[in-house]
Chain A
Amino acid sequence: MSTLSAVVVDAASFAAWLFLVAVGLTLVFGVLRLLNIAHGAFYSVGAYAAVYAIGASVTLGWATWIQLVAALAAAVAIGAVIGLLTERCILGRLYGYPEPLVLIATYALFLILDDATKLVSGGGSLYAAQPRDSLGQIGIGGLQYPVYDVALIGVSMMLAAIVWFVLNRTRVGRCVTAVVFDSEISAAMGIHVGRIKTATFMVGAALGCLAGALTAPKIAVSPGMGVEVIVIAFAVVVVGGLGSIPGALLGAAIIGLARALTAHLLPELEIFAVYLVMAGVLAVRPFGLLAPAQARRI
């Protein structure tokens, strides 16, 4: 019984994290049609921002919830600024370029941002565990979990709800959906495709930083941590279908569950769970579970 509840909590917790890191990536792909490798770097920038914000708040003696708000605000602000600069100065100039070149550009950006975090932090590991520690533990099914980790599940679900609401129930969201569907026709209909793209990239970058900031209290924040994140985020997104938000949710849920199951039943397979699920899904559906249909070419 306790194994079951442990699997469920672990699965939910891991799935929540996966959704956090993947949602920005898939959103950006959907609208801009580019896979942003630098998303992994945004994640680590966000984590560093959170570490410094929490550190400062703790020194100032602020309450836990203010520490968290400060961390998230710092991360989102930095993400939005980096996103704006990146899209305006670099990626915006590459629309229409061959895919490999754009991918290389985002990789180059990753290298630069990763080194920048190293330069700022000095290269060692940093911690920001205070808010997580001070929130204490909660018992579920006979096991103790940090309240922070459980709360993240809620945060992730809330984020999914917000993204869904914005895309489906607001004017701006419908414009974004239209651009995802066909950017040329959207432009012809009078939608500012350029602005939508810039704004989406800013939101995507902010989401990447937010994911890093939310994770920071749980981990040792160190340079190079973005690499694993981009690979895993891609796996999540590709299992669900590149560019689909429900797909990201589905991919996160499946991989989260698979990882939790292997962690409890076949621990030696745990680190491969993500890739095994990806390989399995791709073998059956080469472009993911909720991949949109391909348009006819001839």
Chain B
Amino acid sequence: MTDLLHCTGIQCRFGDFVATKGIDPSVKHGEIVGIIGANGAGKTTLLNIISGYLKPTAGRVMFRGTDVTGMPPRALARRGIARSFQVPQLFASGTARENMMVALSLLVDPRTSLLRRFSDRGLFDKAQRLLEDYRIGEHADAVVAHIPQGVRKLLDIAMATCASPALVLLDEPTSGVSVDEKNDLIGRLIERFRKTSTSVIFIEHDMEIVREYASRVIALYDGRIIADGDVAEVFADRDVVRYITGAGVAPLSADGCHAPA
């Protein structure tokens, strides 16, 4: 069976700076892949390339066996690649429910439904149900600009994934979420995606979380993959210890750090 996602020789260059230097990450069906690496290692750039936000300067991205290199995010979203953001990308002037309703009507319903009335009972109920699934139903009527960061993170993920995608890309799903909520949040998310055997790539700075939930880990350093494999294997890797996790002590956590990765 072919990989769900298979990249070859991905390179991305911004002027003189090379963010990713010819890497070949891949993901199989149902895998939960954690990406680790310091800020500037090229993690978000990789997600930007896979989701179509950036066009790689070299290399190709194969998704379900077809070449999707350079396709824009809107095309990939329709093909089943969903993506959440480090800083939640929401419609700030709407309520949480309205955000969910927009996501549902755009991603799930066909284009021809675009002229249907927005305030429609069915759409309303469906959005409400999904919000409650993610246990943020109580914020449904709050304007997004005023809801807490953790809820925004969840809403962002809920919106991205409402059309049951085949591959979900999560960019630091737990950054900005308080330490005690963190485990619970990611646990629920991963459980959801496991149930539907959705493949996931998530960027995470908290090594405990990666250890706990990832089925495979990719370690990035300076635009290159320095380790890729089982969780135990990668965390035992000398380069990973040296450059990313530190000398086996408590894992470094960079929570709340929004510096561009």
Contacts and interface: CB of A to CB of B under 8 A. Distances in A.
Same complex for A and B? Answer yes
Contacts, number: 10
In the complex, which range does the number of interface residues on chain A fall in? Answer: under 10
Contact of A296 (B89, B171, B260): B260
A44 B87 CA distance: 46
Interface string A172-202: 0000000000000000000000000000000
Interface string A260-298: 000000000000000000000000000000000100101
A85 B89 CA distance: 39
Interface string B30-50: 000000000000001000100
Nearest to A295: B260
Interface string B61-89: 00000000000000000000000011101
Contacts of B85: 298
B53 interface: yes
Contacts of A293: 15
A298 to B, nearest CB: 5
Interface in A1-57: none
Contacts of B86: 298
Contacts of A298: 44, 48, 53, 85-87, 89, 171
Contacts of A296: 260
A74 to B, nearest CB: 47
Contacts of B53: 298
Interface string B47-58: 010000100000
A292 to B, nearest CB: 12
A99 to B, nearest CB: 15
A296 B19 CA distance: 13
A4 B120 CA distance: 69
B136 to A, nearest CB: 22
Interface string B249-261: 0000000000010
Interface of A: 293, 296, 298
6 contacts: A293-B15, A296-B260, A298-B44, A298-B48, A298-B86, A298-B87
Given A298-B53, A298-B86, A298-B89, 7 more contacts: A293-B15, A296-B260, A298-B44, A298-B48, A298-B85, A298-B87, A298-B171
